[in-house]
Structure 1
Amino acid sequence: MASRLDSLVHQRYMELDTSGSVMVTYIWIDGTNGLRSKTRTLKSYPTSPEQLPVWNFDGSSTAQSLGHDSDIYIRPQSIFKDPFVPGNNCLVMCDTYDKDDKPHPTNYRYSCYESMKKVDAQHPWFGIEQEYTLLDLDGYPFGWPKGGFPGAQGPYYCSVGSNRVFGRQIVEAHYKACLYAGIDVSGTNAEVMPGQWEYQVGPTEGIAMGDQLWVSRYILDRVCEDFGVIACLDPKPMPGEWNGAGAHCNYSTLAMREEGGIKVINQAIEKLSKEHHRHIKLYDPTGGEDNKRRLTGRHETGHIDRFNSGVAHRGASIRIPRQINKDGKGYLEDRRPSSNCDPYLVTEALVRSTCLDWENFDMERFTPKN
């Protein structure tokens, strides 16, 4: 008899009383820009990351070490309620450290955190629009006719109806699970390509953006497990006349949000223009190769080799929303980050270029993941 997974049977076990024990799931980023996790039992719910023990994992199985020296440490940094295991359980976002307790080369959180501390008085806010594409287990876009194509783009964006929308139950389950976990999801919508969706995290301040976006991705993958689909973060999952997927980053400092802030926004855009190629390298895990397939100057993107900006311009590198320009204050939208970006790198790059400088940032430490 073929084995099967039955959600109703699973639910019976989930309802068992385990009071007095806390299941803590440690989440970390591996050497391929993917997520890993494992769970341990504690006797009480942690009220701060410092109460959680440092743990370790086999880095030789995650593309982060060699087998003869495999242990990598994971240090808890941010706690979220667990939406998958009822009761007093939690998810913990961690970062990684080598045998000498130094940040692992794949740990971009550490540098981001140090940069955010330096600009704390400027209160940098971030909001990231995470686009993704739902796929069947065979790798074909969810809802598309097998071996064929749906009708051309146009009727799918923010749409309604079973002939236009594919996967709304998955999206709503993810939305609720993120809110339960304590993630600042501010909205969601169907995107331009059928089977493609977006949710927005933020505004959050400083390092919280990276922590929350990574955990929201973990929750998305877990929800998709239950529905038997895949959440794909590839920035151009379907070649041809289809929109790609990005992670547009809305960014502001306190000065941008105050009266006369549009002047500060324009000054920031000028600084960003001078570091365009550095940002492109940091805005996808392959150092720009993934984004090259998306940033073509078509399908609501700017060209990867050219920097431009404009009010309400969706073909620009940096867009100033029309209402922000009218109000004379607010935020800018960086449209260059790819859907599979590391938000720690994106947010640090923005504050480095606009508030700090690039001193002591080792570009060589960033290793593209091909």
Structure 2
Amino acid sequence: MSFTSLGLASSLQKALAKQSYTEAYPIQKEAIPAILNKKDVLGIAKTGSGKTASYVLPILTNLQGGSISKNRHIKTLVLVPTRELAAQVLEVFQQFSSALSDPIKCLAVHGGVSINPQMKAMQNVDILVATPGRLLELVDSNAVHLTEIEALVLDEADKMLNMGFQDEMNRIFALLPKKRQNMLFSATLSKNVEDVNQVLLKNPQVIKIESEVDTIDLIDQLAYSVAEEKKGPLLRYLIKHNNLKQVLVFTSSAHRADAVAYKLSKNGIQATSTHSKKSQGARTENLRKFKTGKLRVLVATDLLTRGIDIEFLPYVVNYDLPRSPKDYIHRIGRTGRAESPGEAIAFVTKDDEHHFKVIQKKMKKRINLIDTKEIDTKGY
């Protein structure tokens, strides 16, 4: 279905066409008309399915020509679980808001940085993207008011609930006007999400797009049987020998990520690490460089398994296997997204073999183990 038939503002349609976005993704085809009609929406779709644009575009359309909001009284609130997702969602809002004849002021607020600049920036903001904790700090400081909100979005609701934001979210809900439009987007329909749905949404349009397990056929999966001490040389061999670029490598810990990135850099492969122990500025800059192709390898912990949209990412490497099959699927789901093919590589030690069989059973997909004994990794 073409974007031109969905009822969006003409300036947004032109902006989409200019960026060669012509056909809407499944989540967008259903969510955009519903949101334009001010209906509540429950959208279940994996990260990378076009979910963010499915609410950004109609929200901007609905705000066009509306009344001017009072200072520090926002009209739209988007709640997200992480700083990275807040920055990403803001980027999409700003990208399309700039195309409007009367641009709408958008802002993202989150922890990990000073609150004072965020308090000052709240002047005349209509759309606020926020993590729950920082939002409540701003409310307590009278830097923002939630009494005139017309639309509420919960993005990655399942992750927010799993990360223990329930109490903070309940506090926020109590501050909102009863009459408003609610949109809840989640990768999975867990019991927690279902409970919030019952409380929050009124006769919602339910949109469920195929799960990550159903779409992993877009991903070409390879697995290498490798001794623990040979993982580093094998990774460097694969990157150099196959000339891999834009490679996202997952490790089991922050210390491990730093060590792998250090060895890659020492061997002439441009790489850096990102994890919760890095400053927010460093994480944002590293991700920006990686997304724009200025950084060849980004080594990460599970911080990046959800909520980060890296479009057309060609390679994901599981340097260390995650603890659960679900986490494995989320990791490799960073590639093979939005109908673009990708390659996922797993390193499997002798101790990992049983666990890797469990992962394959969960995916309903068999992956042959490639023996690395014949691969000459000397010098790598």
**Aligning the two structures, in what range does the TM-score lie when normalised by the shorter sequence?**
under 0.3
Greater share of strand residues, 1 or 2? 1
TM-score, with length taken from structure 1: 0.27
TM-score of the superposition, structure 2-length normalised? 0.26
Higher relative contact order (Cα pairs below 8 Å, separated by 6+ residues): 2
